[in-house]
Structure 1
Amino acid sequence: MELYLLRHGKAQEHATTISGDAKRQLTEAGKKELEVIAKAIKNLEIQVDDIFSSPLIRAKQTAEIVKKHLKNNKNSIKIWNELKPEIDIKNTIAKLSSLKPESSVLLVGHEPHLTSLIATIISNDSSLDILLKKGGLVHIQCNVTKNTVSGSLRSIMTPKQLKKLCR
């Protein structure tokens, strides 16, 4: 499996409640930055079979922006509760392991959930220190078996690096 993970873009300031946090939207600057990042993803010729997003608004908005720029953008964005920031990564891995091993997918989510997921997949150690900035993109080539996903890190790209691909 070709697995791409994208952290949502810059969002409104933190809310004091979880339900308020779920409704935080991308800022205008965050949307503009993601438009450029999405073009970079297109320039990298990344093709995915499916896009899976956290149900939180800022992640869904991020997924929509990226989807517009992908070549195969006819598929709908699928919402996974397993990408919510508070969900145990074991649930996310179980969901990933249910996908076709030959698929190429993009997950759009949050911190620290995404870096724990990345660390677990590449090292089986969720505490591995990985920095994924808002709008950052990770590529992992994965081996998928029943309830397990392991893989090799292929790249971590910061928003700054991605934006340079559009100049």
Structure 2
Amino acid sequence: MDCILIRHGIAIEPDEWEGAEENRPLTEKGKKRVKQAAVGIAALDCKPTHLFTSPFVRAYDTARILRTVVCPVLKVETREELAVGAKPEQLVALLNTLPSDSVVICVGHEPQLGEVVSLLLCGKVLPSFPFKKSGAACIEAEGIIKPNQARLRWWLPPLQLRVLGKRTRTEKQDESS
């Protein structure tokens, strides 16, 4: 299984938002950056079989943008296992219900995403793996996902994803010229 963990894009700051926290949306810049990062993820040629997201608006909107660019045939599925406050073990349990050859995109929040990576790579929850907004990591595991048994395939901050996407677009333009 490959699990691609992605943090939601830049959202309106909490002190600038009067609504409920779960309804805080992406900014226009956040939407643009997510789309650019999604092009970078698409360049990595992953073939997602599932697209899960936190039910919070900023994560759901990030997942919708990813779906458009990376995996248009998939349905965006909201999962409480990715909501703010969810325990890393909850997401691991969800992943273990899927076929072992799945490629899963999970859109969520910090610190939960970093805690999931820590649990899978190190066997315990540590604050050592922070995700930037629109940043992503791919964790791979064989068979059932167990703490301390997974491997890090790649970890890309949003700037690197944007550069990768831009480079790929440029190469495609050069090929068609």
TM-score normalised by L of structure 1 = 0.91
Q: Offset at 1:144?
A: 3.8
Residue identity over aligned pairs, in percent, reads 30
Cα distance in 1 for residues equivalent to 2:62 and 2:99: 24
**Letter of the 1:160 counterpart:** L
Match of 2:151 in 1: 152
Gaps of 5+ in 2: 168-177
**Letter of the 2:81 counterpart:** E
Match of 1:6 in 2: 6
Cα distance in 1 for residues equivalent to 2:20 and 2:26: 14
1:4-83 to structure 2, matched below 5 A, reads: 4-14=4-14, 20-70=20-70, 72-83=71-82
1:110-129 to structure 2, matched below 5 A, reads: 110-129=109-128
RMSD (CA atoms): 1.9
**Letter of the 2:43 counterpart:** N
**Letter of the 1:37 counterpart:** A
Cα distance in 1 for residues equivalent to 2:95 and 2:50: 12
- Alpha-carbon deviations, 1:54-104, whole Å to 9, x = none? 00000000000011012x421211111010120111211111111111111
Secondary structure, counterpart of 1:51 in structure 2: strand
Cα contact 1:54–1:79 (8 A) shared by 2: yes
- Alpha-carbon deviations, 1:101-142, whole Å to 9, x = none? 111110000000000001001111211511210000101111
Q: Offset at 1:15?
A: 5.6
Cα contact 1:15–1:24 (8 A) shared by 2: no
Secondary structure, counterpart of 1:4 in structure 2: strand
Cα distance in 2 for residues equivalent to 1:124 and 1:103: 22
Cα contact 2:111–2:127 (8 A) shared by 1: no
Cα distance in 1 for residues equivalent to 2:68 and 2:35: 9
Match of 1:98 in 2: 97
Pair 59,91 (structure 1): closer, same or farther in 2 beyond 3 Å: same
TM-score normalised by L of structure 2 = 0.86
**Letter of the 2:97 counterpart:** S
Q: Offset at 1:155?
A: 1.0
Cα contact 2:111–2:130 (8 A) shared by 1: no
**Letter of the 1:126 counterpart:** V
Gaps of 5+ in 1: none
* Number of residue pairs matched by the alignment: 164
Q: Which runs of 4+ in 1 moved over 3 A?
A: 147-150
Pair member with larger Rg: 2
